[in-house]
Every structure is written in structure tokens, then in C-alpha cells.
Amino acid sequence: MGILVPLYLAGLTALSLPLILHLVRRTPRGRQEFSSLMFLSPTPPRLTRRSRLDQVLLLLLRLAALALVTLAFCRPFLREAASLTFADLTGKRLAILIDTSASMKRGDLWQQAIKAAEKQLDDLNPQDDVALFTFSDRLRTIIDFQKEGAPPIPNKPQLVRNQLNSLQPDWMPTDLGTALVAVAGELDTSGDVRQSPLEPQIVVISDFQSGSRIEALQTFEWPERVPVVTLTVAPLKTTNAHAQVLPAEEGNELGDARVRVVNAADSRGDQFTVEWAEAESSGARTDVYVPPGQTRIIRLPRGAENLQMDRVVLRGDEHDFDNTFFVVPPRQLEATLLYAGRDAAEDPEGLQLYLRLAVANDPLRRVDVRPLDVTKPLTAPGDIEPKIALVSQPVTEELRTALMKFVEQGGVLLLVPDGDEAATSVATFFDDVEFSRVAGDTVGANESRSEKYLLLGEIDFTHPLFAPFASPRYSDFTKIHFWKHRVVTLKPPATTRVVARFDNGDPALLERSVGKGRVLAMTSGWQPADSQLALSSKFVPLVGALLDLACGGTEVAEGVAVGQPMTLPSSKQPEPIVVQTPDGREVRLESDAATFAETDRTGIYRAKVGSTETRFAVNLSPSESLTTPMDLEQLEQRGVRIGTELTRTQRIDRVRQQRDTELESRQKVWRWLIVVALGLLALETWWAGRAERKIAVEQM
Amino acid sequence: MTAPNNTAAVRSKSRASSYIDPATLMRIKNLELRAKLVVDGFLSGLHRSPYHGFSVEFTEYRQYSPGDDLRFLDWRLFARSDRFYLKRFEDETNLRCYLLVDLSRSMGFHSAALKYDKAEYAKTVAATIAYFLTLQRDAVGLITFDQAIREYVPARFRSGHLHRLMMLLEHQLAGTATNIGLPLEQVARTARKRGVVVLLSDLLAPIEMLETKLGYLRSQGHEVVVIRTLDPVEVGFHFSEESMFFDLESGRELYVDPQAARTDYLDRFDAHAKSLTRVCSGLGIDVYQLTTDQPLDLALFDLLNSRMRRGRQVARRRRV
């Protein structure tokens, strides 16, 4: 039935007009103003000849002709089938696409989404096909469409319903565009290939937050036959803010943190608190006022007491899913350094004093410098296992054996001979090294004191000891003068590696790998008699690098967002890389793996690459915190065909209307009605003429 | 026409003479000019005042009685006769006339043949009388009314007073009813001295209370003249088309077939007129009916005629 049919039918009421005109009392045409009606009384209407119906047949003929024309405008038809059932509906291929991004953890959004999906399943017909997809940063197929040629899956809606209950939102950001493109592409191509009569349709159940990415739709030509029905789930409470710790300024890594606090545009609250926190305790806090839709940068004081706290928590909003921002805390390393030397701990001419000064006051390490006692085991029960030993005195055979065993088990031994005897004993650790001659002013047989100082000329910055100085900004060693060194000769084929040389080509630092550890030997010490090294700015970082080499580094890598691959430091060791996730799971990677991709939740990850443990924080994508609902017209602007949600009954109505239109255009009953109306008018004309002649004759 | 026979004869004779055609007269916009035109040429002359007061013209002596004003004592006569006599003089302000003009909506009616309504006619009559009396140095007051009193100006004779009266008469019609009793009450309450009260109205209102109010005025010694202003159609009910009749005052509508209703209307109208005449004649009040197609001079003539008859009656009474 067309939209105008009721209007046409209303036109039938006009048929009564002639009757009304005939029968109803004629109201006077004129209106006479008069000074007073006090002498007048109403006059009863007079019956005239006009009020009587003379030509009833003519009237009826004219009315019938008018009625037929009106009915013809209504375009009537004869319905063949009495009613339609749900089985008469064309089947549809329904793709249910559920948002599982982190923002769906808000309030009862997930429950709403599941309910919306179940409602879609309830409205399915037996001939419909359904598939279930979830999407966050990528599309996941939970239950696919019926494959061609495959046996039909019995009770598929129930299967989908069961799967629905096992789904949970994850921590990933939302990429709506990619998901839509993938599902639409699949629906379109599968329809083309199979020539399927099923109508494709995508139902997206999401919170449609403004942080959703839809760029992928830009380059995709949306298939015309695939409509998208959007079902938006919305929380009752909308106040949501998140805090993000920004990278620290250079040189202020351990200072106050810069925190960006963003409040969503549809928030109702504007007062928040940002604080340092650990698993079960919290530290310094700062209140911040951020009006809805705005951003503030604040400084969150850290101080020594909050140094080990690993997260910044925002409080005061109504949704917790994005309130924690993980920050890798600098780890305080505990290490034991064994020292064997003849100098006293406070001797300004010795090595030990400068060594102790270099490791003291380090906020990241607590180093215990202990004298090496050969008579006792190197590791006492309950102590931290020493990983580094420094020897400056002559080495006895017994000590050498113990030290070699220590090195083979993974220790690092640094030899810095303080005299000829010690230098001679150094050679016993290297098979291919001999102290051939003396340079500088001769004090002893193999010692030299040069008035003309030497400088470090050639340094291998790829070596872990010098890696921190690899940047051109820090690689200048030309201000450190060396007056005294021991000249060594390497016997070919040399397995000993020269890490640094003086500018005259003499080796300054030697290295040899033994077992799991390594032996390092310096040909010049850092005491003032030998060089300016201890007094230079390079000494403390160099000792730090030595400790890192021995005890493993405390690498802190830049964090990434959830779902982003983490670039791992390169490893030259054959051991596999082990990454420990925040939930305690261990993921083993090949030793040559460059990235770690399973960053599927927020928290602090630990990647063990060789002896170095790299920790990195994985946080929620900032876009996921933009929880203000997006304007769905943006999808239409990018070509997505937005459909309307129709229930089965509404679809049946629509089908019925289509069938009615087809029937009507086939039967064309209106033509016959017009023909009959014309016939009636012809009859009326003839009858009227006859009546007129009759009256004329009577009047004559 | 409800006027004495001799007056009717004079009026019918006068109509043949050169009265100004009211349709022509009404084309003049200015009310004062209209009045001047009507009065122009009308016989003018002072008439004897019935009042006495302080004036130049001596009339008679009266014996002193305690309480009289000593200013008017004739000391010379006292010197000659040793008796106290008061001198009496003619009052300069002769007549106090109150014009009561009905400006209700019913007065806004006019038939198709005439271009002016009853109110316009009545205003011109009032202006003419006012102008005429002002020329005679008489005091004129004005009350316009519908269901309430709209304007009230006490009777005065002073420069500018006439112009003020003319301005007030120019006011638009208003009101949804006519209450004739109110202006009569007002005059009875405020006029201390006896005078002439001229009521100009169509009197298309119940007249039950009229008798009481007029009687009260008459008892105060006022002379009352009722000039009933009607449209010729109201008198003859010459309508032909059946139509909805719309009451100008109440807004009531009534379907009327004039052919059927004419007799009934005329009967009721005559009955109303007769009862009005009966009430007025019982009180010694002259009622003159003027249709708006009649010359306005007649109104002035009616007023003077009424005054003359009244004067004769008084004279007769004195003689008796």
C-alpha cells in the first residue's frame, strides 16, 4: 500500500459533499449589522424545492464514477497468498563484530555487548548464516561462515552463543577501520563467488569511542551490497581520565616525572589525583584539576623514597581500565667485588681508594668491595655471589687456580698490575702475551715513566666496557694522560683481544674469554702515579660498565603501547631470549629475535638477553583512553553504507510490501476501474440528456 | 413623530423651506463648522432668565429678613423710609444646559442609503445646540455615555469651553450596551441649579428604569428634552434579503427573514415608542423623534419650541 493511499481513500469522503450541499440548510449569504436585536426574533428556515432530491439515479451514477476513480488511484490488487511466514524471508549472512578493546572494560559495557549480540542471535532464521568476529587492534575470527561444500553446522546460533560467553575484552587499542574492511571484503567476495542469495550484513557492537582508528576505510571502496548496522553500547557514568608519564628530560631521568593528564570530553568530573604506586602501596601524590576535554601536564615529585615505584596511578574518575601507567623503576643492583691488592683502602696512591669511591653513592647499585682471601672459598654461604674480582698484586699459583676457576664459572677478572712482579704474573693468565720491554722512565725492569704522556688512541666502542661512551658526545678520551704503562707483545696467532690501544700502538686493555667468564688486563693503572684515569670523568662510568659486564646490566628500554612489538637488544650469545610477561608467563624467543610481539597486556616485561636483563613497560595505547563517543557520520563519510536494524517482523513487512507492489503492477486493476467509471459517466450523460428533454417537454 | 400637533405643522412647513440637507452637511468634517452652519441665520435673541442674582440690571425690591446678604441692602431707601429692603438683579448667566449624548455602538448603525450613522447625526445635533446656546451666553455641559459615563463636562460659559465640547464629541464609539439611567443620575447629582437637560439617544434599551430617573430630574426642577435619533430603516425595517442579523452592541447573531419578521418588528417597535412617550408625557417631558435623513435645524427648533412652551406654562401658572 502506497503512502498516498490513505489520502486517496480519504478523498472518498468527498462523495458525501453533494448530499450535504443538497440537504443541509442553506446558511444565509448576507450578514446584516443592526443596531439592536431587541425587537427581532429568529425566523425558522423555509423549506425550498432545492432541498429535495429529484434525480437520485443521476446522483448515484456520478457518485459511483467518482468512487471508482478514487479507487483506481489507490491501485488495488488481489492478494494471492494470505500471509508470509519467517521461512519466506530471504536468508541473511550476518557477521557479528564485537569490540574487545580495552575501553570495553568500562562499567557494564561488555555485558551490554553480549546482550546485544544474543539479541541478534535470537532474531535469526534457520536459513540465515552467522559468523562471530572480535576486533581490537586486529580482527579475530571466532566462528566463521559456513564453508562451501562443508557439512552444515547444526544449531550454529547456539554455538556462537557459547563462544560469546567465553570472550573477554583485552587491553588492545581499537582499529575499527581494519576490522570493517576485512569483514566487508570477505562478505563481498564470498557472495560474488558463490552467487549466494543470502543478504550480507555486518552488525558492529562497540562503544564507538573517538579513539577508534578508522583510517583503513579511507582507501577502501565499500561494497554497496554490504550494510553495516551499528549497535552502540554506552556506560551510565562517563567520567574518564588517564595519566601518561612523558619521557624525562635528558640528565633528569631520576628526577620528577612529567605526567600528562587527559580528561575525556564527556566527563562530568574534573578533579583527579595522580600518585606513585607499587603493587600494594602508594607514594607521593599530586592533585590536578582538568576540565572535561582538556589536558594538563603536571610534575609528580619522585624523590628517593618513590624511586622503586613502578607505576603512576590516577584516581578520581569512574573507569579504572586506563588509570595505571607503568614505569620501569631503576633497579638497585647488589654486587660483591673481590679485591686483591697490596695497597690500603685509604691509600691515595693506590687503586683501591678510587675504586671504592667510584662505586659508592650509586643509587642504582650497592657494591660491597671485599678483600680476596685465597684461604677461604670465594663465595660465603648467604652472601651475594661475587661476579667480579680485581687483582693488582702478584698472583700465586694457588690464587691463579682459584681465579681461573672463578672465571670459568662466569666471573670477570680484571688484572691491574701494580709492579713488575704483578705484571709478570698477569702474563700467566694469557697464553699469547709477553711483557717484552719497558716504556717511560725506568723504575723497575719492566716499568716505564714517560715524560711524554700517552693517550688512548684506538678504542673498540663495541666492547661492553666502552659501549656507554659510543656516542660522539662522550667518546673523547684525549684528555686522560697516561705516563706509565707496561709494554706487552702479542704472540701470533693471538687469541687475546686488544680492546684499547695507546696512541703509540701499545695495547692498553686486553681481554680473553675463559669458560663462561672473561679475563681483562690493563697495562696501566688508574692510580695518580700511572695516569689521570681515576681523576677523569670517564672513570665512574667505566667502573659502572665493568660492573654491568660482570653482574648484568640494568637496561631500561623505552616502553611501548599494548600490541606494539618491542625491539629487543641484539644478543651475540647463543642462548635463547626469555621474556617474562607481567602475569608470570615466560616466552622463549630465538637468540637472533629482534622484536617481541606478544605485548598483549599492560605491565612490566623482563627480557633476558644473555647476561643483561632488559625491562620494559607496556602501557595502554593513549588513543584507547579517548572514550568520548565518535560521530557515526564519520563512517558514512568514508563510504560505509550504514543500514538500519530490522527485526524479523519488520523484514517480513518489507517483503510483503515488495510483493504487493509486484502484484499490483502485474494485475493493473486500476485500468478496469477507470474503464467502468468512463462507462458510468457515459450512462450518466445519456440519462441526464433524457431527463432534461423530459422536463423541457413538460414545461412546454 | 411624537411631537405636539402645532409643532408638527410648523416643522412640516419649515421642511419645505430652505433647510440644509443633512447628507450635504455631514460631508463637512469639522463638527464646529457644521454647528455654525446650522445655527447661522437662526433667529437669535436673549430670553428672560428665571434666575436672579448680582447683576447690573435691577428687577425688584424684597424686604430684608435676617440672614440675607447685607451687600445687597439699599441704604438709600433705608435712609428715606427707615426700612430694610434688598435690591434684586437679573442673573447674567441665564441657562444651564446639559447635553447627554449616547455614544454606544448601537448609535453606529446607518442604513445603506445614508453615508453617516446615528452617532454622527446626534453629535452634530449636540454641537448645534451647544453652539447656539453659547452664542446666547448660556452655560453648556456635556455627558457622553454608553453602558457607563465616558466624558463629563460641567455646564460652563467661558472661552474655549465650546471647543472642548466639540473635541469630546469627536470620540469614537464604544461599549457593548446602553445605560440611559447613568447620565441622568449624574446630572441630578451634580447640577445644583435648575437647567435644561437634553438627552440625545436612540433609546433602544429597556425603559423600565427611565421613568424613575427622569422623574427624579424633573422633581429637581430641571427641564428635560428627549431627542430620539433613529435611522429611517430602524423605523420602517425596510430589509428584503434574509440574512444573519448582527447586534452591534452585544455581538449576538440571529437569522432573520425580513419578510416574515417585519410585522412583528414594527409592532414591538411601536409598543416601545408608545411606552416611552407615555412615560415622558406623564412627567411633562417632550420627546422628539428625529430620523437621520431629517434636517438638523429641526432639532434646534424642537429645543426652542420646548422652551417656549415651558415658558408659557410657567407664565400661565404664575397668572393662576
pLDDT at residue A443 greater than cutoff 50: no
Domain range A241-327, CATH architecture: Sandwich (2.60)
| B171 and B215, same domain (yes or no) | yes
At A485-531, the pLDDT tens digits run 888 888 777 788 889 999 888 889 999 888 888 899 998 888 888 88
- pLDDT the model gives residue B313: 61
Same domain, B84 and B184: no
Last residue within a domain, chosen from B35, B68, B90: B90
User: What pLDDT is recorded for position A681?
Assistant: 92
Q: Is the pLDDT of residue A456 over 60?
A: yes
| Average pLDDT of span A259-264 | 91
**Residues B281, B154 share a domain:** yes
The answer to whether residue B265 scores a pLDDT higher than 50 is yes
The residue-averaged pLDDT of A154-171 equals 88
Work out the minimum CA distance from B100 to partner chain A, whole angstroms. 19
Interface probe with A: pick from B117, B246, B255, B291, most Cβ of A within 10 Å: B255
Calculate the average pLDDT of chain A: 82
Backbone angles phi, psi at A576, to 5 degrees: -70, 155
Q: Does B268 touch chain A (CB under 8 A)?
A: yes
B177 and B220 assigned to the same domain: yes
Facing residue for B254 by CB, picked from A30, A37, A46:
A37
The 8 Å CB, 24+ separation contacts for A673-682 are: A673/A68, A673/A69, A673/A71, A673/A72, A673/A76, A674/A68, A674/A69, A674/A72, A676/A68, A677/A64, A677/A65, A677/A68, A677/A69, A677/A72, A680/A61, A680/A64, A680/A65, A680/A68, A681/A61, A681/A65
Of A86, A95, A102, A22, nearest to A601 (Cα)?
A102
Write the residue in B234, B255, B272 that is nearest to A42 by C-beta.
B255
Are B228 and B287 within 8 A, CB to CB? yes
> Residue A389 corresponds to which cell in the numbers above?
674480582
Q: Is the pLDDT of residue B62 over 70?
A: yes
Whether residue B174 sits in one domain with residue B100:
yes
- Is pLDDT above 70 for A445? no
β-strands A324-326, B286-291: how paired?
A: unpaired
Can you identify the CATH homologous superfamily of domain A333-551? Class I glutamine amidotransferase (GATase) domain (3.40.50.880)
More confident residue, A310 or A556: A310
Q: Which carries the bigger pLDDT value, residue A648 or residue B109? A: B109
Write down the pLDDT at residue A111: 93
What does the block give as the cell for A516?
663462561
Point out the least confidently predicted range of A191-195, A473-477, A595-599: A191-195
Question: Does residue B167 share a domain with residue B63?
Answer: no
pLDDT above 70 for A29: no
pLDDT digits (tens, 9 = 90+) for B129-183: 898 888 888 889 999 988 888 889 988 888 889 999 998 888 877 777 788 888 8
| Interface A:B, Cβ pairs < 8 A | 83
Q: Is the Cβ pair A32, B231 closer than 8 Å? A: no
**In the predicted model, what is the mean pLDDT of residues B185-214?**
85
pLDDT on residue B46: 40
Provide φ and ψ at B291, rounded to 5°.
-90, 155
Average pLDDT over residues B2-26: 57
Contact B243 A39 (CB under 8 A): no
| pLDDT mean over A583-593 | 85
Residues B208 and B80 both lie in one domain: no
In degrees, to the nearest 5, what angle opens at C-alpha A125 toward C-alphas A119 and A130?
A: 70
Residue A366 sits at the vertex; the CA angle it makes with A362 and A371, to the nearest 5 degrees, is 115
Mean pLDDT within A163-180: 91
Residues of A in contact with B251 (CB under 8 A): none
pLDDT digits (tens, 9 = 90+) for A243-258: 988 887 765 666 788 8
Residue of A nearest to B270 (CA): A39
Q: Which residue has the cell 680473553?
A: A512
The amino acid present at B282, given as its one-letter code, is G
Query: Which domain, by its residues, includes B237?
Result: 5-48+93-319
Does residue B43 sit in the same domain as residue B139? yes
User: What is d(CA A396, CA A613) in angstroms, rounded to the nearest whole number?
Assistant: 36
Are domains A91-234+629-646 and A333-551 of this chain identical in fold?
Answer: yes
Q: Where are the domains of chain A?
A: 5-26+46-82+668-699, 91-234+629-646, 241-327, 333-551, 557-622
CATH number for position B14: 3.40.50.410
On the question of pLDDT at A226 being above 80, the answer is: yes
Residues B312 and B211 in one domain: yes
Query: What is the rounded CA–CA span in Å between residue A75 and residue A80?
Result: 16
Q: Nearest-CA distance from B194 to chain A in Å?
A: 34
Check CB contact under 8 Å for B246 and A34: yes
Q: Do B162 and B264 fall into the same domain?
A: yes
Query: Is the pLDDT at A343 greater than 50, yes or no?
Result: yes
Q: Do B246 and A33 touch (CB under 8 A)?
A: yes
Write the class of the CATH domain A557-622. mainly beta
Q: What is the pLDDT of residues A371-426, one digit of tens each?
A: 887 666 665 555 667 788 888 888 888 888 888 888 888 888 898 888 777 888 88
In chain A, residues with a C-beta closer than 8 Å to the C-beta of B275 are none
Does residue A56 or residue A572 have the better pLDDT? A56
- Grid cell at residue B212: 424613575
User: In this structure, are B23 and B74 located in the same domain?
Assistant: no
Q: Which of A76-85, A584-593, A669-678, B134-143 has the lowest mean pLDDT?
A: A76-85
- The CATH number of the structural domain formed by A91-234+629-646 is 3.40.50.410
In a shared domain, residues B80 and B147: no
pLDDT at position B14, please? 46
